[in-house]
């Protein structure tokens, strides 16, 4: 496996790995379960995700990444090493890696990502900013002197940027995305029905019938939990209209940030964006009506990329071809990567 190149998208919700020549070969929840008595990891990925909200007090299920950055270094490093071992079973597996990072993180946060990956044994690490990777993954020719607006709505953050000439002209990042939508549902159901439900139950309901624009659909979704007053088991059948009521405020915060960024976008780029419209990526772009809501509010066409949740990983994968230039120190202006190690 010596000579292999891979791309990693370390998301808040899921880790995605792209293997050059093969495509996406891993997409697992970024979750680790730890036995608190022995301090040992007992499960990772899908297996650990199945334990969320269902553990004994001996086991803690943790997300080592929070809002797109590493919040628990040791567990993040464990997770990355485990997955790299899983995909490259040879002890000579020393890949070159492109890793995507949110566009507004600090140098310290970047360093943590680089250190966590390099500890797994890699030859070279290059960084790519998430919106740039998202646009590449959505099939945009980012090298042109032409403005493209990408909004990546993930699990922990929404990153938006106007790109031109393989770089970012203006960007914004906010900590409102899938997790905040789930929390909004938990709070709404507690307020309206006095019913306490877990975050996983809320996520399932969101993915099944969630919407941020009115939907002509009578389908109801059952959520189960316990009554906040009596402590007894209880359920409620939630409608799409109720989902809209719960989710509209966080969705509008994304819209307002986008409007504010557009106000500051240079006019030439703005006119490009205006004719081509906005590209939505990230798993939360699947939320029903988010595209319509944004389109109505900013008065521009909006399209959801194909396979939105893996766009960043796909784009980081497409950028693998630029690693050689970085290694040869042939830094072209149009190289979307930056060297880190
Ligand atoms: N059909 C759906 N409707 C609404 N939300 C969805 C749907 N499918 C997936 N999601 C949400 O998408 C989010 C995960 O998206 P994604 O994989 O892009 O996040 P991430 O890259 O891990 O996070 P981040 O980029 O913020 O670090 C989760 O919050 C999930 O609930
Ligand atoms: Mg992401």
| Residue from 309, 314, 316 to probe ligand 1 pocket by mutation (most atoms less than 8 Å from CB) | 309
Q: What pLDDT shows up at residue 53?
A: 84
Q: What pLDDT shows up at residue 333?
A: 66
187 CA from centroid of ligand 2 (Å): 25
The pLDDT tens digits for 206-227 are 999 999 999 998 899 999 999 9
Question: Quick one: 18 and 122 in the same domain?
Answer: yes
Domain end call among 231, 246, 261: 246
* pLDDT value at 105 more than 90: no
277 CA from centroid of ligand 1 (Å): 22
The pLDDT tens digits for 268-279 are 999 999 999 999
Strand partners, 148: 163
Q: What pLDDT shows up at residue 335?
A: 85
Return the ligand number nearest the Cα of 200.
1
Ligand 1: residues with CB < 6 A are 11-14, 68, 154-157, 177-179, 203, 206-207, 210, 282-284, 286-287, 309
Q: What pLDDT shows up at residue 221?
A: 97
Closest CA to 214 of 243, 176, 193, 178: 243
174 CA from centroid of ligand 2 (Å): 13
Question: Quick one: 27 and 84 in the same domain?
Answer: yes
Task: Provide mean pLDDT across the span 185-200.
Answer: 97
**45-59 b/e (C-beta count within 10 Å ≥ 16 → b):** beebbebbeebeeeb
Question: Quick one: 86 and 14 in the same domain?
Answer: yes
In this structure, what CATH number is given to the domain that contains residue 167? 3.30.420.40
Total length of the chain: 341
* pLDDT value at 120 more than 90: no
Question: Quick one: 153 and 266 in the same domain?
Answer: yes
Q: What pLDDT shows up at residue 272?
A: 95
- Domain count for the chain, please give it: 3
In this structure, what CATH number is given to the domain that contains residue 224? 3.90.640.10
154 CA from centroid of ligand 1 (Å): 5
Question: Quick one: 212 and 304 in the same domain?
Answer: no
pTM of this structure? 0.95
Domain end call among 246, 265, 286: 246
Strand partners, 89: none
Q: What pLDDT shows up at residue 92?
A: 55
Question: Quick one: 329 and 211 in the same domain?
Answer: no
Q: Which of 84-93, 100-109, 149-158 has the lowest mean pLDDT?
A: 84-93
Question: Quick one: 86 and 217 in the same domain?
Answer: no
Q: What pLDDT shows up at residue 341?
A: 67
Question: Quick one: 261 and 151 in the same domain?
Answer: yes
Q: What pLDDT shows up at residue 244?
A: 98
Q: Can you tell me which atom of ligand 1 is nearest the CA of 179?
A: 29
The separation between the first and the last C-alpha atoms of the chain, rounded to the nearest angstrom, is 20
Question: Quick one: 148 and 259 in the same domain?
Answer: yes
Q: What pLDDT shows up at residue 89?
A: 63
- Report d(CA 257, CA 252) in Å as an integer: 9
The pLDDT tens digits for 232-269 are 999 999 999 999 999 999 999 999 999 999 999 999 99
Q: What pLDDT shows up at residue 319?
A: 95
Q: What pLDDT shows up at residue 305?
A: 98
- Report d(CA 102, CA 114) in Å as an integer: 13
Return the ligand number nearest the Cα of 205.
1
Question: Quick one: 191 and 316 in the same domain?
Answer: no
Q: Can you tell me which atom of ligand 1 is nearest the CA of 309?
A: 18
Return the ligand number nearest the Cα of 113.
1
Using a pLDDT cut of 70, give the percent of the chain over it. 96
Q: What pLDDT shows up at residue 67?
A: 82
Q: What pLDDT shows up at residue 60?
A: 93
Question: Quick one: 161 and 271 in the same domain?
Answer: yes
Using a pLDDT cut of 90, give the percent of the chain over it. 82
Question: Quick one: 262 and 171 in the same domain?
Answer: yes
Contact (Cβ atoms closer than 8 angstroms) between residue 97 and residue 116: no
Cα-based torsion angle of the residue sequence 331, 336, 338, 339 in order, rounded to the nearest 10 degrees = -70
Domain end call among 216, 246, 276: 246
The boundaries of the domain holding residue 224 are 178-246
């Amino acid at each position: 496996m010596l000579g292999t190149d891979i791309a990693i998208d370390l998301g808040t919700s899921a880790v995605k790995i792209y293997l050059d020549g093969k495509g996406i070969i891993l997409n697992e929840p970024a979750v680790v379960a730890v036995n608190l008595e022995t301090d040992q990891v007992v499960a990772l990925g899908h297996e650990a995700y199945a334990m969320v909200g269902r553990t004994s007090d001996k086991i803690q299920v943790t997300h080592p990444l929070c809002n797109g950055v590493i919040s628990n270094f040791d567990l993040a490093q464990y997770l990355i090493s485990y997955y790299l071992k899983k995909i490259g079973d040879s002890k000579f597996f020393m890949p070159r890696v492109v890793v995507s990072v949110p566009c507004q993180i600090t140098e310290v946060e970047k360093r943590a990502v680089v250190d966590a990956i390099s500890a797994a044994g890699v030859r070279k690490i290059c960084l790519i900013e998430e919106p740039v990777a998202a646009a590449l993954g959505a099939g945009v020719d980012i090298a042109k002197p032409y403005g493209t607006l990408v909004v990546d709505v993930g699990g922990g953050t929404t990153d938006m940027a106007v790109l031109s000439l393989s770089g970012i002209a203006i960007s914004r990042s906010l900590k409102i995305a899938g997790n905040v939508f789930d929390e909004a549902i938990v709070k709404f159901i507690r307020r309206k029905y006095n019913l306490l439900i877990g975050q996983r139950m809320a996520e399932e309901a969101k993915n099944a019938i969630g919407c941020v624009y009115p939907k002509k659909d009578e389908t109801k979704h059952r959520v189960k939990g316990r009554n906040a007053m009596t402590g007894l088991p209880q359920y409620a059948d939630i409608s799409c209209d109720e989902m809209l009521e719960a989710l509209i405020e966080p969705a509008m915060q994304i819209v307002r940030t986008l409007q504010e960024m557009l106000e500051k976008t240079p006019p030439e780029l703005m006119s490009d964006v205006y004719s081509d419209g906005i590209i939505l990526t990230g798993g939360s772009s699947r939320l029903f009506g988010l595209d319509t809501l944004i389109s109505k509010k900013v008065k521009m066409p909006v399209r959801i990329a194909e396979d939105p949740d893996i766009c960043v990983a796909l784009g980081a994968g497409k950028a693998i071809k630029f690693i050689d230039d970085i290694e040869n120190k042939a830094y072209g202006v149009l190289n979307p990567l930056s060297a880190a190690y």
